[in-house]
Structure 1
């Protein structure tokens, strides 16, 4: 929301400007782009630039930055919906430049571009598990006015700080940054949550720099693109535990009556790391602990993994047969049989030639919705999902043609000796095999590092066995995906559940105190704003459908709060 206008983007990159009080459309922009898969638009960047790059007045003083599924960055006049002609090539920067071959669907923009002072910074989603040597994971900063490249961070070549030499490309197949980044203007640092070198489940071919930068928080100097510090959350990641969430920047109380600049990073494996964001040194103690070792030929394994021992772990327990569950005795029995036929050694169970259970799986744990925080209580609010992943490696000569790297099933991992089978750990009727809850909301005190409360979120009203709606408001706790919103009034708004509701929780105890029915589910994060015209405060969210639901919609819904 800028002034009296709200801006939103659709999964296909269309941008709408809406009246903040009425929802009436003021303009629409269509990028005319195509993406064969993974259609996402998680947000728009915004900058006010009263002068152009050569200090001349500009007609595009307020500009939005749109990331597209076909790898473009477009600057749009926030007043008119027209491209800002002086940015890049008539409003567009082609993000496939210097990337080498980019097949459709292999490199895309899905997360909000980060505006940090005079630059707009983008990473990119690189397709998982197709092959080695996929498009580069480079992060680039562009001048917000001209679209000129200011700096580049290439994980495979720190000497390439802008464009690579003529005839060369950025390093291919390196860890990427697909999620949202954060910026501390006072420290001049940009925080990058990194992913993995492709593919995910076999890493015998990975380089030293791949292993250095994967699944890490990397602090970059906003002026130069140089690394100040980095902290790794998973060593030699073989589980797709890339960092999915925007880092939280928050000043936490210290033991001297003051505060220290902190960064909280939630992970797919259910760990929460709390670091000093100026230095990267843990505020909450981290221990390297031994983890199981695997036996896949040609693979190597990290002997230890970092555990954030002074922060709560969310939903990453080691399962036992007694944890198996079902809607009926039959599917519970089938889940027990499945479990007994798999190798499970805890959160870091390595993939093998045999069937292994990874819990949490590659969706999490925590995912892209990140966290919210109440500065009055220092409570941080974390939503999670608890879905296991069964996997095993498949020798190259046993993989059938047509294996896809998208969603579940066989993934090819070309360029390595093995493909991989990935399957959700579900019963015969499509329900997670372990006991509920399958998703929760938790409150963690950032001052004491204690779990203050945890409640199951979501009912089976709009889902059930075999996809049949049960129409029961039983608070089982279903997988969550989306962002929460904490307000100063002590309310926590959240809609990223499998049932079709926007809910408000008491931030002090987690009690649900209000909910409103939605036409379909939502994966978005609610936002709030005050109208400059009427003084009304609104809660607004987009509603397009829950991740595990077949119901889809196309709504922007606003609620007015009573004065």
Structure 2
């Protein structure tokens, strides 16, 4: 073991030193190899040599990594195990030379064993990144102020994911039990960029409405989970099958100050309707009572979203996020395939009358003159920035907020127009009646990193410190920045600085000299990496990660892609992604979950791109119509573990009043994942990448299920402490939601579980949890 370990460390350490990296591994490898040779020859000097090398490692590790548990484990644990074996062998080595053995070596071995045991126990103890120093109190829900329904994907069109309910609270959440399980009958069949269940159900009265990855809609009894009806749109797509949420509209209710309200009364049939976006670009209205398409909407209940788009190849344009219900409008954007070519389907955003399906307005980022259907023989501008994530709506301001992506393809922008650059990776505020732009705030200039805005903007009135409030919009980003904007003016509330960023040298490309940094809000998981930040489950894969890192160019979050291999951190998944945030208005705490995955990439000249390259998720992407394709690879060790130090995913609480981090904790364990895809089956809370939405309640609880292990968790929202968790049959990428049954008065917590992204385990579960009935 000593000889093999020494050889590995010496050879790898020599190469790392050649690359300009740490010189520790080369002499440590030589010493370990030499000690192994001596031990093989039964020389006690071999044990002494390794002991001396181990002492050097003990001194070096905290100098290199600081006093951080997981970085120290990766540097020292293997050496500790070897030191234990060497200490146990030392008396035998002495006897082999005719010297009496002594008991000191066994005492030392016992001490090392105790240290290793303590370290092993600490594997299973959660370690806060930032601990709360003030514990906020809980304000009970006032009588009559309880939430009645969950009507939108984010609970409200402001995207707050907050429920004014407190029947389930910190004192009794430990008693939560599974109340019922429903099956949709629609199991997602693939991982990666295929079918994924990411739905948050809607609740209206005594009925839940759930959509599946393939776009089927199921209505369930809120107390039993019994199916009331099911609708199959018979949609199909070659990739990216998912439905994150449905829309709901009640024509009989005074829902809001209507945007373009129709004057005629709605018919009795379909007066309450579900709006379903499909994976093959249709918008369907369904009667909430029967599940039948609403005949007065579009063509027999269907609006074809491909109209006016030009050529739409299968999988190039589809709906994956919830439609926005803004008064009497239903507003949709759409996912456009990344990185295949220039001139892909348009990024147009359209608003339809929610009752008739008539097109009310269109916002074409490439042509302001097109406000409805394009003129005969024309299309909406192709290849423009799109809105694939969820939008938000302020009824009082009559404004819709659009989080935009970037013009295709992602990693080469030399062919983009001025309008592409103006509206890409931005928050665009539009008049809800007309779709006309009111203001734009850009979070990434000339985006070359796929830093499109992935999350629904949070609309929230923050305290202004003078007894009043400011109308704010909080936008989380893939690059780990959080922008706090005045949603009336589009001007920053929290300071934003334009800072110089590295410049690239790809022929035909142009680069923004600066990028906006939200210096007035916390940044999450986007620190510039250094060699000492590299990590691995053992010292061996940590060394390989250091070699990998030193062989790449990394200049911070805006490292530009080049012809050489470069590291983008965070990568194109984030940072923060589509789950957005939740907020507790009683404490002004906003809750943000993130993932920390790097992306190794480089540009490939057109002639060198392999035939048939697609790279829907990772690999070579063709970027046809540009001089270059691109390679994209996750920055992982040979064991499939992220190469930078943990945590790889966290939950954070930010006080929107002070704009400071209150607490931050790792989220998720390696129980259902591990090196090379092997499940470790141990609940080690290292903090794994998260993907999904959270939900807060007025009882001081924060629920979350979007982890790589199979659990629904409840955290104390004041401290981040995990106070309850329930094993799920498979993983979940869905946002929890909650409601009080109008029949029984019982509060339920509901989550959909179709499978975690990295896991092959799939299901079709909708699970409801409640407190046990009082006897």
**Partner residue of 1:539 out of 734, 749, 756:** 749
Q: Aligned equivalents of 1:49 and 1:157: distance in 2?
A: 33
**Partner residue of 1:39 out of 230, 238, 241:** 241
Q: In the alignment, which residue of structure 2 is the partner of 1:14?
A: 216
Per-residue deviation at 1:561? 3.5
Query: What SS does the aligned partner of 1:36 have?
Result: coil
Q: Is residue 53–residue 146 contact of structure 1 (8 Å, CA) maintained in 2?
A: no
Query: What SS does the aligned partner of 1:407 have?
Result: coil
Query: What SS does the aligned partner of 1:210 have?
Result: helix
Q: Aligned equivalents of 1:94 and 1:129: distance in 2?
A: 25
Q: Aligned equivalents of 2:554 and 2:265: distance in 1?
A: 62
Per-residue deviation at 1:488? 0.2
Q: Aligned equivalents of 1:562 and 1:259: distance in 2?
A: 41
Per-residue deviation at 1:159? 1.1
Give me the TM-score of the superposition, normalised by structure 1.
0.99
**Partner residue of 1:436 out of 646, 663, 667:** 646
Q: In the alignment, which residue of structure 2 is the partner of 1:297?
A: 507
Q: In the alignment, which residue of structure 1 is the partner of 2:706?
A: 496
**Partner residue of 2:476 out of 263, 266, 282:** 266
Q: In the alignment, which residue of structure 2 is the partner of 1:553?
A: 763
Say whether residues 1:312 and 2:522 are aligned partners. Answer: yes
**Cα-to-partner distance string for 1:229-253 (whole Å, 9 max, x where unaligned):** 1100000000000000000011000
**Partner residue of 2:578 out of 368, 390, 407:** 368
Q: Aligned equivalents of 2:279 and 2:346: distance in 1?
A: 16
Q: In the alignment, which residue of structure 2 is the partner of 1:456?
A: 666
Q: Aligned equivalents of 2:659 and 2:285: distance in 1?
A: 41
Query: What SS does the aligned partner of 2:362 have?
Result: strand
Q: Aligned equivalents of 1:464 and 1:2: distance in 2?
A: 40
Q: In the alignment, which residue of structure 1 is the partner of 2:451?
A: 241
Say whether residues 1:179 and 2:381 are aligned partners. Answer: no
Q: Aligned equivalents of 1:55 and 1:495: distance in 2?
A: 42
Higher helix proportion, which one? 2
Per-residue deviation at 1:553? 1.2
Query: What SS does the aligned partner of 1:159 have?
Result: coil
Say whether residues 1:28 and 2:238 are aligned partners. Answer: no
Q: Aligned equivalents of 1:389 and 1:58: distance in 2?
A: 53
Q: Aligned equivalents of 2:435 and 2:672: distance in 1?
A: 47
Say whether residues 1:485 and 2:687 are aligned partners. Answer: no
Per-residue deviation at 1:562? 5.6
Per-residue deviation at 1:56? 5.6
Q: In the alignment, which residue of structure 1 is the partner of 2:141?
A: none
Per mean C-alpha deviation after superposition, the further-off stretch among 54-63 and 410-419 is: 54-63
Per-residue deviation at 1:294? 0.2
Say whether residues 1:212 and 2:422 are aligned partners. Answer: yes
**Cα-to-partner distance string for 1:326-384 (whole Å, 9 max, x where unaligned):** 11222111111110100000000000000000000000000000000011110000000
Unmatched runs of 5 consecutive residues or more in structure 1: none
Per-residue deviation at 1:57? 2.8
Per-residue deviation at 1:405? 3.7
Q: Is residue 136–residue 176 contact of structure 1 (8 Å, CA) maintained in 2?
A: yes
Q: Aligned equivalents of 1:173 and 1:500: distance in 2?
A: 39
Q: Aligned equivalents of 1:364 and 1:474: distance in 2?
A: 23
Query: What SS does the aligned partner of 1:335 have?
Result: helix
Q: Aligned equivalents of 1:13 and 1:331: distance in 2?
A: 42
Say whether residues 1:518 and 2:728 are aligned partners. Answer: yes
Q: Note closer, same or farther for the CA distance 1:508–1:56 as it changes in structure 2 (3 Å cut).
A: closer
Q: Aligned equivalents of 1:287 and 1:50: distance in 2?
A: 47
Say whether residues 1:423 and 2:625 are aligned partners. Answer: no
Per-residue deviation at 1:317? 0.5
Q: In the alignment, which residue of structure 2 is the partner of 1:345?
A: 555
**Partner residue of 2:488 out of 260, 275, 278:** 278
Q: Aligned equivalents of 1:57 and 1:539: distance in 2?
A: 34
Q: In the alignment, which residue of structure 1 is the partner of 2:82?
A: none
Query: What SS does the aligned partner of 1:354 have?
Result: coil
Q: Is residue 128–residue 405 contact of structure 1 (8 Å, CA) maintained in 2?
A: no
Q: Is residue 65–residue 113 contact of structure 1 (8 Å, CA) maintained in 2?
A: yes
Q: Is residue 50–residue 57 contact of structure 1 (8 Å, CA) maintained in 2?
A: no
Query: What SS does the aligned partner of 1:339 have?
Result: helix
Report matched runs for 1:224-239 at 5 Å.
Answer: 224-239=434-449
Q: Aligned pairs, how many?
A: 563
Q: In the alignment, which residue of structure 2 is the partner of 1:71?
A: 281
Give me the TM-score of the superposition, normalised by structure 2.
0.72
Per-residue deviation at 1:125? 0.1
Per-residue deviation at 1:544? 0.7
Q: Which runs of 4+ in 1 moved over 3 A?
A: 50-56
Unmatched runs of 5 consecutive residues or more in structure 2: 1-202, 254-261
The alignment's C-alpha RMSD in Å is 1.0
Report matched runs for 1:352-391 at 5 Å.
Answer: 352-391=562-601
Query: What SS does the aligned partner of 1:551 have?
Result: coil
Q: In the alignment, which residue of structure 2 is the partner of 1:150?
A: 360
Q: Aligned equivalents of 1:58 and 1:211: distance in 2?
A: 47
Q: In the alignment, which residue of structure 1 is the partner of 2:546?
A: 336
Say whether residues 1:119 and 2:329 are aligned partners. Answer: yes
Q: Aligned equivalents of 1:379 and 1:53: distance in 2?
A: 41
Higher strand proportion, which one? 1
Per-residue deviation at 1:492? 0.3
